Structure 1
Amino acid sequence: MKYVNAETVFPEWLLSELQQYVQGDWIYIPAIKGSRKAWGERSGSREALRRRNADIRKQYARGQSMEELSSVYGLAYDTIKKIVYSKT
C-alpha cells in the first residue's frame, strides 16, 4: 500500500467533505469488492498448480506410488497424499 496525497487525487469539494471527518490522519480506502483477483490468478500460478495436481492424481490412478510421485515432483509424501485424496 502506498501513500497518496489526497489533494492530488480528490476534487476540492470531496476533500473538503472528508476533512469534516478526518484531518491530518491516515485513512484507508478499500478496493471495490470483486475488483481484486485471488492469489495466483494474475501470474497464472493458481492454474499451474491446478494442472500439476490433476497430473499427480492421474498418475496415482494409473498406479504410480506416492513415494515415486514425491520424488518426481519434489514434494513431501504428506503433500502428495493431500493432493491425491483431495476432491479437487
Structure 2
Amino acid sequence: MSYIKAAELLPKDLVELIQNYIDGEYIYIPKKEKNKKAWGANTTTKADLADRNMSIYEKYSNGHSVKELADEFYLSQKSIQRIILNIKKKYC
C-alpha cells in the first residue's frame, strides 16, 4: 500500500475538515464494496496453499505421521491435523 498526500489530492477545505477529526495522523480509507477483490485474487498464494495442503494430505494418506509432516512443512502438529481434517471434510 502506498500513501498519497491528502493536500495533493483533495480540496483544501476538505483537508481542513478532516484535520478537525484527525490532525497529522495516518488514516485508512477502505475501498468501495464493488472494488474489493477476494483474498488471493492478485497472487498465486491461495493456489499454492491448496497445493501444499493436498500434498500434506496425500503424504498423510501414504503413512507419514503428523509429526513428520509438521517438521517437513514447518507447521505445528495442530495445523497439520486441521489441514487433514479440512480436506477429509471437503473430499471424503
TM over 0.5: yes
Aligned to 1:6: 10
| 1:1-88 alignment, distance < 5 Å | 2-4=4-6, 5-7=9-11, 24-26=16-18, 30-86=30-86, 87-88=89-90
1:21-44 superposed Cα distances (whole Å, 9 cap, x missing partner): x78323x86533242223332121
1:30-78 superposed Cα distances (whole Å, 9 cap, x missing partner): 5332422233321211111111111111211222111111111111111
Identity of aligned residues (%): 27
Question: Normalized against structure 2, the TM-score is what?
Answer: 0.61
Question: Normalized against structure 1, the TM-score is what?
Answer: 0.63
SS at match of 1:43: coil
Q: Between Structure 1 and Structure 2, which shows a larger proportion of helix residues? A: 2
> Structure 1 residues 75, 30: CA separation in 2 closer, same or farther (over 3 Å shift)?
closer
Aligned to 1:11: none
- 1:56–1:84 contact (8 Å) kept in structure 2: yes
- Uncovered stretches (5+) of structure 2, i.e. residues with no partner: 19-27
- Uncovered stretches (5+) of structure 1, i.e. residues with no partner: 8-18
In the TM superposition, structure 1's runs of 4+ consecutive aligned residues that sit over 4 Å from their partners are none
